[in-house]
Structure 1
Amino acid sequence: MRLRLALRAAILASATLLPVTAIAQAAPDEPPSTQGQQLPAELVDAISRDLGLTPEQYLDRAELAQRLGSYADGLRQARPDTYAGSWIGHDGVPVVAVTTTETAQHVANDGYATKMAAVSANHLEDSLAQLNQWILGLPRDVSSQINSTSIDVMDNQIVIDVVNSPIGRALNLPTLLAQLKVVLSPGGGGPVDARAEGGDTYVTSAVPLDKIDDPASIGVCSLGFNAVASGGQAYNISAGHCDPQQENPNAGAASPVYLPDYGDVARSRQIGTFAHSAMGEQARGLDYSLIKLNDEGVRAGLDRPAVRGANGTTVTITGTARPVVGAPICKSGQTSTFTCGIVVAESVDAPLFMADGTSRLVRGFAGSTCTLSGDSGGAILSGTRALGITSGSNSGGAPSCTEANLVLALDGGTASIGIPIEKIIADANAALGQNVSVRTAP
């Protein structure tokens, strides 16, 4: 019930990459370094393990960065209104950002790759200074909700990291600043609500728990977004493959869903049953389920627009969103808890392998978040909007995200498939004939 294939290759093959305007791609020619042979063996091992580089590549790239820094300093002095920043790309190519085609051609003639930007580095730094001065003038209880401010030179913008709290969301940010991007840090601190929320654990089985002889037959998944039908019936949206009847459609009665009692699983509270689940070709490639909540589920807290955030705090859902390449995302799951990344592809198809050895073709968006076994069905956010639920990943078998990141680093890192919430809602309403919607804050 986890995606075991090398998902990263499929994601890269189908990704629509963010545009980069490059007039030149070649870096200044330099003879290859021979100094790598002189590095200590321990350092060579660390370079290979953590950077994926040979010793020669490591030394050459370090020297290239210094040459780029000197070149950028001179360009900034000569053209302060059109220089917008510089960096070494992940591929080792030095890039210089500029604001005019005339400067871009000048830089290209010098042998550097270029990227067009909206405003100069000086302009961004002036705006950042204005922003920081404004923050210093705020009352302490307000300024404490701002984690950091910085310049993202690659995207040519100012980034302000704000705690996802009522005060943080209500900040009246200066509108005179150029290229301002606000990043909410969900659950940046505050109380932890003991009630059930999206991202928390649920267990399920084809038969009631008190009739199970083999504990291995109990499935573990994550709650997704809370939802409600027009008639008032409460639901939770999770993954379709978490429903035991997806592997045994002739099992009979709808499978029960429980909040686990870790001391005695047989005494776990039943909070509902699977009312509908669909995945693969029968659902246009989607992978989702609707858990019909009973009174116990509502009393447990699943009638709120709430998802478990960082450090166990609560993120209040404010709306829905669709996947856009490059958009920041965070997912909540019972195993790896709260991890963040970006959307790397708006549409990707991949087989989801079931426990019985069969597979279903799933279509969703690809993200770079770390997702582990048991996170299936958990909520994926973009900002504070519901974006989708977790279906599978290339790191499902890893014991931790730390190990997954180390093992998968050379293959591009962790990757996951999310099922878009807006497509889930449309398909579910068509199948059930109900007007189900994600619960959001009023």
Structure 2
Amino acid sequence: MRLPLAFRAAALASATLIPFSAIAQAEPHEPQSNSAADVAQQLPAELVDAIARDLKLSPQQYIERAEAAQRLAGYAQTLREGSPATYAGSWMGTDGVPVVAVTTTAEAQRVARDGYATRLAAVSANDLEGSLAQLNKWILGLPKDISSQINSTSIDVLENRVVIDVVNSPIGRALNLPTLLAGLKVVLSPGGQPPVDQHAQGGDTYITTPRPITGDIDPAEIGVCSFGFNAVDSAGTPYNLSAGHCDPSQENASVPAGAPVYLPDFADVTRSKQIGAFRHSAMGEPAGGLDYSVIKLNEAGTAAGLDKPTVRGANGTTVTVTGTARPVIGAPICKSGQTSTFTCGLVLADSVDAPLHMADGSTRLVRGFAGSTCTLGGDSGGAILTGTRALGITSGSNSGGAPSCMEANLVLAPEGGTASIGIPIEKIVDHANGALGLDLRVRAADARR
């Protein structure tokens, strides 16, 4: 993982807030899916254990909350499109109740009649995003030695405020914020088991190099990342969607496009099997803030198992992907990665911006969602699920340099715990299709959306 991210759900005052007040606590009118219990019964026992350990939920609660979050996402999108001046955000409460924030009492009453808990906020989501865009533009114009002291920027929907997370260093503490941010308070933060199914799946290890692997390969040339979600186009061509910064050409402009991708042979890396190559990768502003890559798989890749809608679960088990999803604050998530394997948490923020400093001295702004899952170095590109739906691709975390999640949790507990940034899978697919002229879709066992 090459993208360090420090995230903490703390408020930075950007406006005088009117007090939040819950106007209703009713569940949405749309009934829960009748299949939640059936889906929950099909989850592997090890995954059930991970959900209970990390989320303190039963398997049925996990599925039900993930589905409720997606219904909330659809409602919130419609509300925002119809009332952009009053919509202020939405999230899943810790009790599993969906909440919608709005800026007027009249709108709150309408949302309450639709069956959602509501909160009043001072600033609309559109205005918060406008302030965030101005902040990010200012950051990208700073000298690198100063901008490197800014870990991330985001919108704290629950507190209706813009958040800027700054390194607790002399430069960070002395950072002179622009006039538009004069009212803000700055947050300072410190900079498996053997698989059950031997076939490659999302979350498993791949390695890549700037040139084909030979006997004289320099170990420093070998990058380690995790497979994301398997995908396919209308012609049946197989792909895997992973992180953009895993492509060597993103780190070094002199590296030609199309770097090879291998399943590693840990006994002798020169015997590693090539299963494809990077067809496309994109990062930062040219990609709308995304960080993703499209790996075109060859026959060896499909033979290895990368033509199936599967992700590596806890203790090597398999989770079948049933569709795609959008990030919703408070929704339960689980991520699969080659280093930290399978860990679960919650969506902390549905939009976080983090400056990424590249080897050539340039800075790129990456935009994704934040989660509380533990993510370590090498997990980049791995699959993030909510329920059994594909949610995103792992990009970075505040624990990338830790030797284990146990140590990361101990060290980071005073700062709010582990946090990672994921890139929404639906945005990846849309951008990749536009860039490549394809009609990629994530492989899924059924058409549930």
* Alignment partner of 1:206 out of 204, 210, 213: 210
Give the SS at the match of 1:7: coil
How far 1:8 moved relative to its partner? 2.6
* Alignment partner of 2:418 out of 386, 409, 414: 414
Q: Please name the residue that 1:222 is paired with.
A: 226
Give the SS at the match of 2:214: helix
How far 1:160 moved relative to its partner? 3.6
Residues 317-366 of structure 1, C-alpha deviations (whole Å, 9 max, x = no match)? 00000000000000000000001100011101001233555432100001
Q: Distance in 2 between matches of 1:385 and 1:161?
A: 14
Return the letter of the residue paired with 1:219. Answer: G
Distance change in 2, residues 1:253/1:365 (3 Å): closer
Return the letter of the residue paired with 2:382. Answer: G
How far 1:238 moved relative to its partner? 0.1
Return the letter of the residue paired with 2:352. Answer: V
Q: Please name the residue that 2:2 is paired with.
A: 2
> Is 1:335 aligned with 2:233?
no
Return the letter of the residue paired with 2:218. Answer: D
Return the letter of the residue paired with 2:2. Answer: R
Q: Please name the residue that 2:108 is paired with.
A: none
Return the letter of the residue paired with 2:230. Answer: N
Q: Distance in 1 between matches of 2:402 and 2:26?
A: 42
Return the letter of the residue paired with 1:161. Answer: P
CA contact (8 A) 1:2 1:353 kept: no
Q: Please name the residue that 1:258 is paired with.
A: 262
Q: Please name the residue that 2:318 is paired with.
A: 314
* Alignment partner of 1:270 out of 250, 274, 288: 274
* Alignment partner of 1:439 out of 430, 443, 446: 443
How far 1:217 moved relative to its partner? 1.3
Which sits farther off after the overlay, 213-222 or 284-293? 213-222
> Percent sequence identity over matched residues?
67
Greater relative CO, 1 or 2 (CA 8 Å, sep 6+): 2
Residues 80-119 of structure 1, C-alpha deviations (whole Å, 9 max, x = no match)? xxxxxxxxxxxxxxxxxxxxx9xxxxxxxxxxxxxx7559
Distance change in 2, residues 1:434/1:212 (3 Å): farther
CA contact (8 A) 2:5 2:421 kept: no
Return the letter of the residue paired with 2:59. Answer: D
Return the letter of the residue paired with 1:331. Answer: K
TM-score normalised by L of structure 2: 0.60
TM-score normalised by L of structure 1: 0.61
Distance change in 2, residues 1:296/1:261 (3 Å): same
Structure 1: gaps of 5 or more residues: 15-19, 24-100, 102-115, 120-134, 136-140, 149-157, 170-179, 183-190
Distance change in 2, residues 1:344/1:147 (3 Å): closer
CA contact (8 A) 1:222 1:376 kept: yes
Which structure has the bigger radius of gyration?
A: 1
Q: Please name the residue that 2:356 is paired with.
A: 352
1:37-116 aligned at under 5 Å gives the runs: none
Distance change in 2, residues 1:245/1:205 (3 Å): same
Q: Please name the residue that 1:305 is paired with.
A: 309
How far 1:240 moved relative to its partner? 0.2
* Alignment partner of 2:247 out of 243, 247, 269: 243
Return the letter of the residue paired with 2:398. Answer: N
The number of aligned residues is 299
CA contact (8 A) 2:257 2:278 kept: no
Residues 167-197 of structure 1, C-alpha deviations (whole Å, 9 max, x = no match)? xx9xxxxxxxxxx979xxxxxxxx9211000
Residues 112-169 of structure 1, C-alpha deviations (whole Å, 9 max, x = no match)? xxxx7559xxxxxxxxxxxxxxx9xxxxx99x97969xxxxxxxxx95435999xxx9
How far 1:212 moved relative to its partner? 4.5
Q: Please name the residue that 1:32 is paired with.
A: none
Give the SS at the match of 1:195: coil
> Is 1:381 aligned with 2:385?
yes
CA contact (8 A) 1:2 1:354 kept: no
